[in-house]
Amino acid sequence: MMLGKILVANRGEIAVRVMRACREMSIPCVAVYSEADRDALFVKYADEAFCIGPPPARASYLNIAKVIEVAKGCGAGAIHPGYGFLAENPEFARVCEKEGIKFIGPSSRVLALMGDKVAARREMRKAGVPVVPGADECITEFGPARDVAREIGYPVIIKPSGGGGGIGMTVVTREEELAGALKSSQAVATNTFGICDVYIEKYLPDPRHIEFQLLGDSKGNGIHLGERECSIQRRHQKLVEESPSPAVTASMRAEMGEIAAGAARFVGYEGAGTMEFLFSEGKFYFLEVNARVQVEHPVTEMVTGVDIVKEQIRIASGLPLGLRQEEVRMNGWALECRINAEDPLNEFAPSPGRIREYRPPGGPGVRVDDGVYVRYSIPPFYDPMISKVIVWGRDRMEAVSRMRRALYEYVILGIKNNLAFHRALMENPRFVKGELDTGFIERETGLLQETKRTMDEEAWLGKGWSSSSGDLKRIAAVSAVAALIRR
């Protein structure tokens, strides 16, 4: 029996995305929002909406008691956590289980296991997944750290066991740096995640970041939906994703996918999740499991035709997976660009503010997941994502060409954003060839130079234009004209 009313415990584009799936499945959806999001699109889109506190996330979106109170009060029998905030919080899942509210995701047991990076390493090793050489225990003192580093060889990387997003990670190239790096990483881990536990792995310089989309149901079934390439990153945070990966062959996909799906079955994984790998010199190693729907899930949806959010809801309703592994087909190529309110010329610093004009792209093979509109103010309290542009092509070259076209159609005025950076990236010869790794942006210094030139050209071409003087169509053409100038 399908779930009844679903509360979406998130905000922005992912809240809208989940609510769209609910609407197609004729399931009422409920929004919870902070005072900063009172005028947000997801609040307007929901069937019901309830304010749960002031702007700081700890007082609103991370307030477990308040979210549960609203769910019980409005009769929502299930909660979809989206990504971020409470999505991978085992305590939140435990409270949902205790209160008889269906958490749309893995069990609290699995969330606790996957949230502890060291425990996850041990469990994946048991499941037969290749793991990066390193410690399978937390390290608190210099002596054990030195012994591990000597055993696996420098360079090594120190990582907080309870964190993510690159926070607290420190690369160490020689033993003289180890003691200071250990203390520094522990301090950041304590301040950010509340625990000082860290561990040490072999550092793989500039690998590819490849992940497999997983689905598992309560009947013990587990499958994968192929891989995504997520190597274009800044500060360990993804900017561009694609599926499939230019580096993965059909035989590699079958091998890596079966290992990932097998591991999911081994731990009793239920719902949608992602197993992430580092790929270097022809070998792949387990990195972590993201026990939730990913920001980049649309590229997998575009090439497989599977609605991942609907599958999450079906699984949470107690239904078996809607397809078997042999029925999964990957067709064509998909790319996703994350469009953020940030300044690429100032180390991608967040740049919140009011959107003066907004015109997303369209046309064949283009999808835009967003949560904004004209005159909407992006608040400074949360991730500054504006939207995700996703395109599909018959092959990678068509997908890249289509993304170029979509980015040049996209108009966002009033706030700084990274559109110009993405346009420059889509013209980069190494990117076009698929020669990717996690150090790509740092090494391709010409990207920022080209971004600045694009931004300067568009500012000059658009000088003095505004929507009030009837110039919207010309504003929409500015970026395309700038592209012609460069050619």
Output the six-digit token pair for 46: 């929901």
343: Cβ contacts below 8 Å, ≥ 6 apart:
349, 351, 416
Output the six-digit token pair for 73: 């009060």
Report CA-CA distances (Å) from 471 to 362, 436, 466. 20, 39, 6
Report d(CA 445, CA 176) in Å as an integer.
30
Residue carrying the six token digits 């420190």: 170
The answer to whether 344 and 423 have CB atoms below 8 angstroms apart is no
Q: Is 279 helix (H, G, I), strand (E, B) or coil?
A: strand
Report CA-CA distances (Å) from 163 to 115, 121, 136, 183. 8, 14, 16, 16
The answer to whether 29 and 23 have CB atoms below 8 angstroms apart is yes
Out of 228, 253, 292, 404, pick the active-site residue.
292
Report d(CA 307, CA 46) in Å as an integer.
20
Question: What one-letter code names the amino acid at 318?
Answer: G
Active site residue 396: no
Burial tier of 58 (Cβ tally within 10 Å: 0-12, 13-18, 19+):
exposed
Report d(CA 320, CA 479) in Å as an integer.
47
E strand map for 235-362:
237-243, 271-280, 283-290, 333-340, 342-343, 349-350, 353-354, 357-359
Report d(CA 64, CA 58) in Å as an integer.
9
Distance, first Cα to last Cα, the chain? 57
Q: Residues with catalytic annotation? A: 292
